[in-house]
Structure 1
Amino acid sequence: MAEFDTIRTAGVSGARAVQIDEGLRAHMNKVYGTMSVGMLITALAAWAISGLATTSDPALAAAQLRPDLYMTNFGMAIYASPLKWVIMFAPLAFVFGMSAAINRMSAATAQLMFYAFATVMGLSLSSIFLVYTTTSIAQVFLITSISFAGLSLYGYTTKKDLSGMGTFLMMGLIGLIVAMVVNLFLQSDAMTFAISAIGVLIFAGLTAYDTQNIKNTYIQMAMTGDQEWLGKAAIMGALSLYLDFINMFLMLLQLFGNRE
């Protein structure tokens, strides 16, 4: 918000300030719109390749998980083979690849890459349908959506400078990742609960921080008139908020999801 106030008082004409206001609204709409499309792609991909079939389609069944649910041959090919590790780590490779190559991409290419990433993330998340009930997944998704909307709105409207939170949150995120890796070996329920609870707080803070950062970045660069750069900034902003949402959803699902 400090940047926006500076523009208001640093010799920018009223007409120009109005133009920046309108551009900011369009920019944020593109960020949220791109993120929403990505979320839809992820949800459809996760459900489509989850490898599940009901008793109405027993011909596809390769393994019975419970009386009314079967694993399909396709699901077995994914989850009962080393391919599951490829699917698990592919989203991370996409994020690093996009971040490293964004300056060489066009805005259109960056958007296609984001949608490809959302599809790969759907592959990675498909296993939640094997672990949690569909009802609890829907309930936690609704809780996450309401929480995300409130936190993002706060980040957009607050006059408080949240930039100081960035370093603290990133340090917390690094610590969280280390703890998750350690717990892969320990398999501690208590540590899993702590990781999930702390993770919710970290990604809640990142949602507000990233929203304000996207807004301030646009305001800083709006006067350059570089629409190609602003287009790519919108895609990267959508990616940041998408990751905040997905991770907060997963942390809440570990805390409140009903397991099969």
Structure 2
Amino acid sequence: MAEYETIRTGRIGAAAAQIDAGLKAHMNKVYGTMSVGMLITALAAWAIAGLAVTTDPSTAAVQLNNGTLLTAFGSAIYLSPLRWVIMLAPLAVLFLGMGAVMRRASASAAQLFFFVFAVLIGLSLSSIFIVYTAFSIVQTFLVTAVAFAGLSLYGYTTKRDLSGMGTFLVMGLIGLIVAMIVNIFLGSGILALAISAIGVLIFAGLTAYDTQTIKTEYLAHAHHGDQEWLDKSATFGALSLYLDFLNMFQFLLMFMGNQE
């Protein structure tokens, strides 16, 4: 009997170690996929901003109030009605089609779709290189990276159940979106400052919540051995954390960014 218990305990310990190793590999894939998405977004934004700006007055289509000279391409994507298409295209992809497409697609196709989405985000974000100084963008990115790492580590290691916080954060996010839409018409600087502060707090909380959710979903499904599901789950997790990081960066940039 004692021998049986020893064998049984050993098997349980081996299974737990296997799941723990699998979880670490899964989280590494989530963070790796997210990092590639962020790199694609940064490169796309930088490249597009480079095509939009010129230092040669003879080739400039228009000059902005801050003295920036825009090419014909820059004028088209930032000053024409096309800018609304560029701004809203990522949202349309995210809310109208991305979830359904990624669920039906294979794991590799879902990952590719995520990277295409990252390019669209880069296009919509390219204007920050015209509005803000390069130093403040890099500074804000580094601050966001440190904060994100700490919050994600907390979500991964904490024993506290954060699921209840998720509902509260989603409700806060809906209210934030409504406030942002209202402020488009009001143009209130005070409201914009409040929105950016609340936005940072909401996405800070979502970073911890989403990290814990990714972990718990893996632990709930790891014993099934469905590698296709695990691969797609890693892409969905990367998308969630990518959006948390990106939004936290944008709201922090409203605080820390120095304009050109």
State whether TM-score is above 0.5. Answer: yes
Q: What SS does the corresponding residue of 1:199 show, helix, strand or coil?
A: helix
CA contact (8 A) 1:132 1:257 kept: yes
Determine the structure 2 residue equivalent to 1:14. Answer: 13
Distance of 1:234 and 1:67 partners within structure 2: 42
Which consecutive residues of structure 2, in runs of 5 or more, have no partner in the other structure?
Answer: 1-9
Which consecutive residues of structure 1, in runs of 5 or more, have no partner in the other structure?
Answer: 1-10
| Percent of aligned positions that are identical | 69
CA contact (8 A) 2:52 2:75 kept: no
Distance of 2:109 and 2:13 partners within structure 1: 35
Q: Which amino acid aligns with 1:126?
A: S
Distance of 1:168 and 1:131 partners within structure 2: 33
RMSD: 1.8
Q: How does 1:109-148 map to 2 (within 5 A)?
A: 109-148=109-148
Determine the structure 1 residue equivalent to 2:149. Answer: 149
Distance of 2:202 and 2:146 partners within structure 1: 17
Determine the structure 2 residue equivalent to 1:214. Answer: 214
**CA displacement at 1:63 relative to structure 2:** 2.4
1:48-88 Cα distance to aligned partner (Å, 9 max, x none): 11244353x55643223479842122111211221111110
Determine the structure 2 residue equivalent to 1:4. Answer: none
Q: How does 1:1-260 map to 2 (within 5 A)?
A: 13-50=12-49, 51-55=51-55, 60-65=59-64, 69-96=68-95, 97-260=97-260
Distance of 1:67 and 1:259 partners within structure 2: 9
CA contact (8 A) 2:210 2:241 kept: yes
- Structure number with the higher helix fraction is 2
Distance of 1:200 and 1:173 partners within structure 2: 11
Q: Which amino acid aligns with 1:46?
A: A
**CA displacement at 1:251 relative to structure 2:** 0.4
Q: What SS does the corresponding residue of 1:223 show, helix, strand or coil?
A: helix
CA contact (8 A) 1:207 1:244 kept: yes
Q: Which amino acid aligns with 2:148?
A: F
Distance of 1:60 and 1:159 partners within structure 2: 59
Q: Which moved more, 1:125-134 or 1:62-71?
A: 62-71
1:163-205 Cα distance to aligned partner (Å, 9 max, x none): 1100000000000000001101100000000000010000000
Q: What SS does the corresponding residue of 1:160 show, helix, strand or coil?
A: coil
Distance of 2:112 and 2:47 partners within structure 1: 20
CA contact (8 A) 1:52 1:69 kept: no
Distance of 1:168 and 1:135 partners within structure 2: 35
CA contact (8 A) 1:64 1:71 kept: yes
Distance of 1:61 and 1:156 partners within structure 2: 50
Distance of 1:146 and 1:67 partners within structure 2: 31
Distance 1:69 1:182, change over 3 A: closer
Distance 1:67 1:176, change over 3 A: closer
Greater radius of gyration (CA): 2
**CA displacement at 1:37 relative to structure 2:** 0.4
Q: Which moved more, 1:129-138 or 1:166-175?
A: 129-138
Distance of 1:109 and 1:40 partners within structure 2: 19
